Amino acid sequence: MTDTILVVDKLKKYFPTKRGTVKAVDNISFSVATGETMGLVGESGSGKTTTAQCVVGIYPPTDGEIRFKGQAVSKVFGKRPKSLKQEIRIVFQDPGSSLNPKRSIKQILSVPLKVHRVATKKDNLTKIKSLLEMVELPPEYMYKYPRAIGGGEKQMVAIARALATNPSLVLLDEPTSALDVSVQGKIINLLMKLQQDLNLTYLFITHDLSLMRNVASRVAIMYLGKLCEIAPTVEFFQNPTHPYTKMLLSAIPVVSQEEKALKPTKIASRGEIPSPVNVPPGCSFHSRCPEKMDMCAQDDPVMVEIGEGHVTRCHLFAEAKTTAPIA
């Protein structure tokens, strides 16, 4: 049995707005095993960032629980112990806005070292050099300001800042989607190397499903605040079940002949994502689903287990009556 580092249990995060309540995250459950890369994939607005923000403690959940290494952490919102903030770190999508332009790289990296007492004043400089080396940047970069370096380099600094506290869980919120295609691969390779070297666990958030093939050990698909399907990566690409998963998969390029044979035939993406203020009753995907049945407009399906570590939330699989444990 692998060790579970994070459990997200029936998490809800609603935002009251003038237009009504935005159900950004609506009753999602999943777990992350120590040392794995869990891919959390969904279109823009599906609730990925809000999920990460609840896990890292930026927002208190509306309901549900988050457990880190067996301890409920959502209940201590606002009073998270420093040790917890040191263990769970986040890398944001846009390093351009996440790095303070008025501070040098040295100042930026000094903050977590000081706050979390990772380095004394005396060895601060040595530690900064080693952090820069870790993300493959030359030591003299510490005297530069964010505006003087490229987008990929900025993200490397943001990664170094996240790793400065020796975390065990790192949330990567679309870490490459604001970057030039030319540097995306470099950042992904660096992240994978750092994971090996430092025994890190990743929750890797992206809208780019094809990226997950070589990166994630498991993939979870999110749509309009809810999870549709979770499966180990190989199983996910070979045996997708949820109509939304199939729609996403039919839109990405294949890498081999075997995959070509398995790939769902092109399913046209139909309809717009409904507003999260006005989520339709029944299955939230029914308005776009090519396999819609009558019941789908009334009943919201529950997550059922259909294989080893493979769960799906669709009425087509209702006969697999076993309500899934948290996958």
Ligand X SMILES: Nc1ncnc2c1ncn2[C@@H]1O[C@H](COP(=O)(O)OP(=O)(O)O)[C@@H](O)[C@H]1O
- The nearest distance, CB 256 to ligand X, in angstroms, is 30
Site string for ligand X, 247-286 (x = CB under 6 A): -----------------------------x----------
48-56, 247-255, 261-269, 286-294 -> range binding ligand X (CB under 6 A): 48-56
Separation between Cα atoms, residue 183 and residue 220, nearest integer Å: 25
Phi/psi of residue 11, nearest 5 degrees? -70, 130
Q: What angle is formed at CA 281 by the lines to CA 204 and CA 322, rounded to 5 degrees?
A: 65
What is the 8-class DSSP label of residue 302?
Answer: P
Which amino acid is residue 153, in one-letter code? E
Give the DSSP per-residue string, 149-187. S-HHHHHHHHHHHHHTT--SEEEEESTTTTS-HHHHHHH
Which tokens go with 36? 């794995």
Nearer to ligand X, 15 or 145 (CB): 15
User: To the nearest whole angstrom, how small is the minimum distance from the Cβ of residue 57 to ligand X?
Assistant: 15
Question: What is the Cα–Cα distance from 147 to 134, expressed in whole angstroms?
Answer: 21
CB 175 to ligand X: min, Å: 13
Span from 49-57, 115-123, 144-152, 294-302 in contact with Mg ion (CB under 5 A): 49-57
Q: How far is the CB of 48 from Mg ion (least distance, A)?
A: 5
Cα–Cα distance for residue pair 187/176, rounded to 1 Å: 7
Query: Quick one: tokens of 44?
Result: 């823009």
Q: Enumerate residues 297-326 that contact ligand X by CB under 6 A.
A: none
Number of residues in contact with Mg ion, rule: CB under 5 A? 2
Helix (H) or strand (E) holding 189: helix 181-198
Q: Which is nearer to ligand X, 108 or 228 (CB)?
A: 228
- d(CA 148, CA 39) in angstroms, rounded, equals 32
Instruction: Report if residue 49 touches Mg ion, rule: CB under 5 A.
Output: yes
Give the C-alpha distances (Å, rounded to integers) separating 89 from 5, 62, 135, 193. 14, 22, 16, 17
Which of these segments, 45-53, 155-163, 258-266, 288-296, binds Mg ion (CB under 5 A)? Answer: 45-53
Handedness of CA 202, 90, 180, 193 (dihedral sign): negative
Give the x-and-dash track for 8-47 against ligand X (CB under 6 A): -------x-x----x-x-----------------x-xxxx
The CA-atom distances, in angstroms, between 318 and each of 71, 294, 300, 306 are: 33, 14, 11, 10
Stretch of residues binding Mg ion (CB under 5 A), selected from 3-11, 46-54, 109-117, 132-140: 46-54
Task: Identify which of residues 22 and 156 has a Cβ nearer to ligand X in the complex.
Answer: 22
Q: Which amino acid is at 225?
A: G
Binding mask 118-157 for ligand X (x = CB under 6 A): ----------------------------------------
Among 26, 41, 48, 90, binds ligand X (CB under 6 A): 48
Closest CA to 312 of 321, 298, 302: 302
Q: Which of 50, 74, 98, 201 binds ligand X (CB under 6 A)?
A: 50
In the complex, the smallest distance separating the C-beta of residue 49 from ligand X, rounded to whole angstroms, is 3
Q: Could you give the angle at the alpha carbon of 273 between the alpha carbons of 31 and 235, nearest 5°?
A: 40
62: which 2 tokens?
């509306």
Size of the site for ligand X (CB under 6 A): 13
Closest CB to ligand X among 45 and 96? Answer: 45
Shortest distance, position 170 Cβ to Mg ion, whole Å: 16
Contact footprint for ligand X (CB under 6 A):
15, 17, 22, 24, 42, 44-50, 276
Interface contacts to Mg ion, rule CB under 5 A: 48-49
